[in-house]
Copies of this chain bind each other. A is one copy, B any other.
Amino acid sequence: MAEKLTHLDEQGAARIVDIAGKDETVRRAVAGAELHASPAIVEAIFGGALKKGDAVAVARVAGIMAAKKTSELIPLCHPIPVTRITVDIEPVAAPGIIAIRATVETVGRTGVEMEALTAASVTALTLYDMAKALDKSMTITDLRLLSKSGGKSGDFTRQEP
């Protein structure tokens, strides 16, 4: 038997599903993404020993603000009053890769997976924007939900290799 998208009704019409009957509980989601650039770009973004610019802060703020805009961007998302947002941006051991991790929490009737994914995505896009004059072939990859907790559907932790 075929699986069905919850966001469409029996006739296939899109809708924002009813959550009035769900409990207001603390819900958390963590999402990640990677920007594959080059060592020179990672250096340009994070700066060297002596001078550091706004680049990382700009990308972080962009992600935080985007999380608050999620229900304006994703048509069938409920508006959610988030209670906490953090965005981490770090170079990883593999040269030329920047790892992004966004954590969002709410006390509400539905989860914040899309808020965390939107934050990670816009953070990565903002880094791309600032560095694109140096290299247009950067790639954003592994935009994914790392974990979620809270709510009746149970906790989720992504199995990473």
Contacts and interface: CB of A to CB of B under 8 A. Distances in A.
Tell me whether chain A's interface is mostly helix, strand or loop, or mixed.
mixed
A148 to B, nearest CB: 7
A32 B14 CA distance: 18
Given A129-B76, A143-B141, A53 B107 contact: no
Contacts of A145: 132, 136-137
Contact of A125 (B3, B26, B74): B74
Contacts of A71: 68
A92 interface: no
A109 B108 CA distance: 13
A75 B52 contact: no
Interface string A12-29: 111111111000001000
B121 A136 contact: no
A114 B128 CA distance: 9
Contacts of A64: 14-16, 75-76
A97 interface: no
A99 interface: no
Nearest to A19: B83
